[in-house]
């Protein structure tokens, strides 16, 4: 019985395993898209453009949101529920700010005449940042649901698994955005 319990302790939870598989597939998708950008970059209609200032501000928002999420998880582990709720609320606000700032960046580009049909270079920016925004939106929805559940009186179990899962995903989304921003700066 003891060795079986030790074996179980070292196994990855099925939800974490599924999340890692999802992250791997997202990474493969973005690797394919960034590879396509590198190949298409030598086309005649490739133009240089400035990355919208709003993308820089959104980067700051997602970095700070990762920090507040780490602090929220720590508060949850120590059963400091008021601090946990406050930090989750801040994380949700920062996640929303990230998406709003991304939208403002796209709007700024659109005002400059840089639309998805302008050139392949601009189209790739819209596709890369847009696909990332969709993944961030999914993470934000999960954060909001987790925050809302912190007020539920029906919850009798105290499990760190949900906060671990959303933390893993949210940090991944943040790191992916930083990678994409650096990549977009290098290829423009």
Which residues does 46 contact at the CB level (< 8 Å), separation at least 6? 40, 119, 120, 121
Q: Using 50, 70 and 90 to split pLDDT, how confident is the model at 1?
A: very low
Compute the distance between CA of residue 122 and CA of residue 51 in angstroms, rounded to an integer: 10
H-helix or E-strand containing 19?
Answer: helix 14-40
pTM recorded for the entire structure: 0.89
Is the CB of residue 88 less than 8 Å from the CB of residue 71? Answer: no
Greatest Cα-to-Cα distance within the chain, rounded to the nearest angstrom: 68
pLDDT tens for residues 73-92?
999 999 999 999 999 999 99
Which residues does 23 contact at the CB level (< 8 Å), separation at least 6? 168, 169, 172
Compute the distance between CA of residue 97 and CA of residue 140 in angstroms, rounded to an integer: 11
Which range of 94-108, 150-164, 174-188 scores highest in mean pLDDT? It is: 94-108
- Mean pLDDT, residues 108-132 taken together: 88
Is the CB of residue 96 less than 8 Å from the CB of residue 147? Answer: no
Is the CB of residue 46 less than 8 Å from the CB of residue 120? Answer: yes
Q: Using 50, 70 and 90 to split pLDDT, how confident is the model at 48?
A: confident
Residue of higher predicted confidence among 34 and 43: 34
What pLDDT is attached to residue 120?
82
- Mean pLDDT, residues 27-46 taken together: 89
**Structure-block tokens of residue 61:** 């928002």
- Alpha-helix runs per DSSP H in 78-119: 81-111
- Mean pLDDT, residues 54-72 taken together: 97
Which domains, ranges and CATH numbers included, belong to the chain? 49-187 (1.20.120.80)
**Structure-block tokens of residue 188:** 């423009």
What pLDDT is attached to residue 6?
52
């Amino acid at each position: 019985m003891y060795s079986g319990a030790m074996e179980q302790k070292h196994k990855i939870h099925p939800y974490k395993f599924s999340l890692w598989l999802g992250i791997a597939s997202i990474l493969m998708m973005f690797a394919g898209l960034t590879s396509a950008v590198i190949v298409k970059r030598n086309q005649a209609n490739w133009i240089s453009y400035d990355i919208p200032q709003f993308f820089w501000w959104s980067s700051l928002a997602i970095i700070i949101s990762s920090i507040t999420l780490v602090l929220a998880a720590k508060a949850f582990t120590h059963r400091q529920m008021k601090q946990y709720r406050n930090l989750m609320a801040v994380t949700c606000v920062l996640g929303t700010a990230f998406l709003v700032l991304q939208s403002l960046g796209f709007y700024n580009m659109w005002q400059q005449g840089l639309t998805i049909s302008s050139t392949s270079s601009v189209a790739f920016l819209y596709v890369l940042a847009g696909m990332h925004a969709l993944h961030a939106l999914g993470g934000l929805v999960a954060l909001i649901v987790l925050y809302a559940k912190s007020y539920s009186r029906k919850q009798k179990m105290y499990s760190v698994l949900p906060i671990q899962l959303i933390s893993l995903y949210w940090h991944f989304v943040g790191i992916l955005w930083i990678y994409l921003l650096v990549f977009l700066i290098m290829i423009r």
